[in-house]
């Protein structure tokens, strides 16, 4: 089969590799129908994720057709159309039982994110899915691949690590720093929890226009020298209740912190590849609550119902479509998102 292989920092190649097979009775092998590239894949290529070894196939998102299941798989059969979750979970360890499969202890290093990280991922024609019964979701009739693919990671991440971890509640004012795909997922879902105002902040005017389409009530360019004053003017001069950082740069985290009111919450979604200074000496007296971490993807089933009902238009995240064999052009488009006016690229088999 063909797959996109990580060759070490700065190196990737679309090449022929061995087809995957069943290794454990709980495995499934699936054929990728639709997939996408994540910002985390860019971080891997840049060398920011040292735990990903050269030779690993990129990718952790996709809609696929089941082609083979192990003897222990009970919930899926050959021919099923499924969402491949970015989190692989056993369903039985203490972390899975507690609803935190991001630290599934049955996986290598006790991490739920193994696809495209610790084992071969979804930017390929076929993929082996460990713990298949707990790591895939059937796609209902009427939900397209283009809608379903963003339920692998982007929507659950923006919702869980941004909105839920940030403690968004009815009436809150929320600022989302970085309105790429994951930031827009936070914009899209903050309203579900009753946010009265959602402020989108980015340096990219295209993304700011998209933020309005996704439900932002206000948008500001991050380069505006009066940004803080303008945001505070919308919040009784105190700052926002919840600031969500969705980029992964030191300066964007600092910006999010600067916009939070006393006893506000800061939810960091971005994957940081370099150390970030945290000015504890100046911030402790503000009683800020700061959260960060990896998605659990436990909200996928709920979000899928909302997509199926038309409540969430997840397909709006996809701005460019390519064939899987054209993955180099898809990668270049996603990597140059500002120039290309791209959010997420959709790759079809």
308 CB neighbour count, 10 Å cutoff? 16
3-state secondary structure of 113: coil
Taking Cα atoms as reference points, which of 164, 121, 113 lies closest to residue 20? 121
34 pLDDT higher than 90: yes
> 52-84, pLDDT tens digit by residue?
999 999 999 999 999 999 999 999 999 999 999
330 CB neighbour count, 10 Å cutoff? 24
What domain range includes position 8?
Answer: 2-153+296-348
Among 292, 309, 336, residue at a domain's last position: 292
Based on the domain organization, do 331 and 277 belong to the same domain? no
282 pLDDT higher than 90: no
Based on the domain organization, do 311 and 344 belong to the same domain? yes
- Structure confidence at residue 278 as a pLDDT band (50, 70, 90): confident
Residue 196: CATH number of its domain: 3.40.50.720
Q: Note whether 163 and 184 are within 8 A (CB).
A: no
Based on the domain organization, do 217 and 190 belong to the same domain? yes
Residue 310: CATH number of its domain: 3.90.180.10
Give the pLDDT of residue 261: 97
Based on the domain organization, do 206 and 230 belong to the same domain? yes
pTM (2 d.p.):
0.95
Question: How many structural domains compose the chain?
Answer: 2
Q: Note whether 300 and 151 are within 8 A (CB).
A: yes
> 157-199, pLDDT tens digit by residue?
999 999 999 999 999 999 999 999 999 999 999 988 999 999 9
Based on the domain organization, do 311 and 279 belong to the same domain? no
DSSP 265-329: EEEE-S--SS-----HHHHGGGT-EEEE-----TTHHHHHHHHHTTSS-GGGGEEEEEEGGGHHH
Mean pLDDT, residues 92-105 taken together:
96
Based on the domain organization, do 128 and 9 belong to the same domain? yes
Instruction: Return d(Cα 243, Cα 149) in angstroms, integer.
Output: 27
Give the pLDDT of residue 195: 96
Tokens of 82: 């499924």
Q: Note whether 15 and 55 are within 8 A (CB).
A: no
Helix and strand counts by DSSP (H, E) for the chain: 13, 15
Based on the domain organization, do 324 and 269 belong to the same domain? no
Instruction: Return d(Cα 293, Cα 162) in angstroms, integer.
Output: 10
Among 250, 277, 292, residue at a domain's last position: 292
* Residues 111-129 as b or e (16 or more Cβ within 10 Å = b): bbbbbbbbbbbbbbbbbbb
Q: Note whether 220 and 199 are within 8 A (CB).
A: yes
1 pLDDT higher than 90: yes
Give the pLDDT of residue 273: 80
Which residues lie closer than 8 Å to 284 by C-beta, 6 or more apart? none
Instruction: Return d(Cα 68, Cα 26) in angstroms, integer.
Output: 11
Based on the domain organization, do 70 and 29 belong to the same domain? yes
Based on the domain organization, do 183 and 77 belong to the same domain? no
DSSP 124: B
204 pLDDT higher than 90: yes
Based on the domain organization, do 329 and 340 belong to the same domain? yes
């Amino acid at each position: 089969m063909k797959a996109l292989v990580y060759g070490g920092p700065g190196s990737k190649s679309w090449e022929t590799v061995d087809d995957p097979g069943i290794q454990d009775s709980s495995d499934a092998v699936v054929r990728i129908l639709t997939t996408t590239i994540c910002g985390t894949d860019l971080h891997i290529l840049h060398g920011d994720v040292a735990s990903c070894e050269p030779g690993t196939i990129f990718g952790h998102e996709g809609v696929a057709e089941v082609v083979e299941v192990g003897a222990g798989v009970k919930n899926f059969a050959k021919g099923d159309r499924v969402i491949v979750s970015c989190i692989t979970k056993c369903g039985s360890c203490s972390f899975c039982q507690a609803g935190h499969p991001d630290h599934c202890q049955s996986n290598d290093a006790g991490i739920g994110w193994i696809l495209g990280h610790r084992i071969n991922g979804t930017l390929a024609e076929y993929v082996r899915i460990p713990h298949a019964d707990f790591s895939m979701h059937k796609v209902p009739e009427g939900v397209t691949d283009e809608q379903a693919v963003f339920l692998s990671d982007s929507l659950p991440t923006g919702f869980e690590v941004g909105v839920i971890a940030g403690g968004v509640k009815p009436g809150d004012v929320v600022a989302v720093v970085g309105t790429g795909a994951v930031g827009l997922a936070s914009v899209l879902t903050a309203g579900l929890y009753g946010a009265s105002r959602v402020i989108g902040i980015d340096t990219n005017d295209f993304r700011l226009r998209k933020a309005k389409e996704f439900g932002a009530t206000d948008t500001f360019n991050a380069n505006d020298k009066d940004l803080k004053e303008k945001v505070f003017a919308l919040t009784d001069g105190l700052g926002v209740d919840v600031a969500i950082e969705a980029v992964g740069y030191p300066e964007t985290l600092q910006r999010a912190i600067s916009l939070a009111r006393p006893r506000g919450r800061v939810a960091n979604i971005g994957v940081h590849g370099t150390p970030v200074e945290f000015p504890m000496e100046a911030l402790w007296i503000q009683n800020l609550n700061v959260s960060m971490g990896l998605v659990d993807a436990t909200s996928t089933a709920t979000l899928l119902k909302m997509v199926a009902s038309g409540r969430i238009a997840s397909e709006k995240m996809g701005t460019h479509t390519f064939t899987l064999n054209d993955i180099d052009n898809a990668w270049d488009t996603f990597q140059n998102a500002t120039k290309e006016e791209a959010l997420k690229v959709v790759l079809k088999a």
